[in-house]
Amino acid sequence: MESRTIVITVDGSKHSQRAFEWYIKHLMRPGVDVVWLVHIAEQVSLPMMSADAPLSFPKDTWAQKLTARAKEIEETQAHYDFKLQEHKLHHNGQGGFVSLNATASFPGPQLVEFIQSKKAEIVVMGNRGLGKLKRTFLGSVSEYVMHNSGVAVTIVPPSAE
């Protein structure tokens, strides 16, 4: 059977965990699929001045926020590296966990670029279930990917509970 490339978007949320589990249950072909788990780290909002000392640079606040972000990425990677090994989803040394630093506040174009660079055939994403108003103002990454990637996109909705 010929290999196929799958991209699954992940972060630390239950939405991405649900998407990964959906892939395992419905699409997984061990030894055939090249699976890329893509994490796009949101830009960290860093203050320019300290709240405690208004004329000083908040280096401690920056250090805390950047350390917390690095820890979050490390924990997410460890979780999904284990899942990849557990399900034997490495194919000839290809695929794996990739964390990209967001280059803009909206990660849609960056994600599409990654999908196209890997020549993915299928993308699996969790849906956060944004309301109509939020989706209108913030945009939906899953909708952007669906309309701009040129590949099949499966959007796994929140559970009906």
3-49: per-residue pLDDT in tens?
899 999 998 888 899 999 999 999 998 888 999 999 988 766 666 66
Tokens matching residue 13: 């949320």
Give the tens place of pLDDT for each residue, 37-84. 999 887 666 666 666 666 666 777 778 888 888 898 899 889 988 888
Spatial distance between the Cα atoms of 96 and 94, rounded to a whole number of angstroms: 7
DSSP H/E element including 126: strand 122-126
Ranges of H-type helices in the chain: 14-26, 59-86, 108-117, 132-138, 141-148
Q: What is the pTM of this model?
A: 0.82
DSSP 94: B
**AA identity, residue 81:** D
Which residues make Cβ contacts (< 8 Å) with residue 34, sequence separation at least 6?
Answer: 3, 4, 5, 6, 91, 92, 94, 95
List the domain boundaries for the chain: 35-43+59-104, 119-161
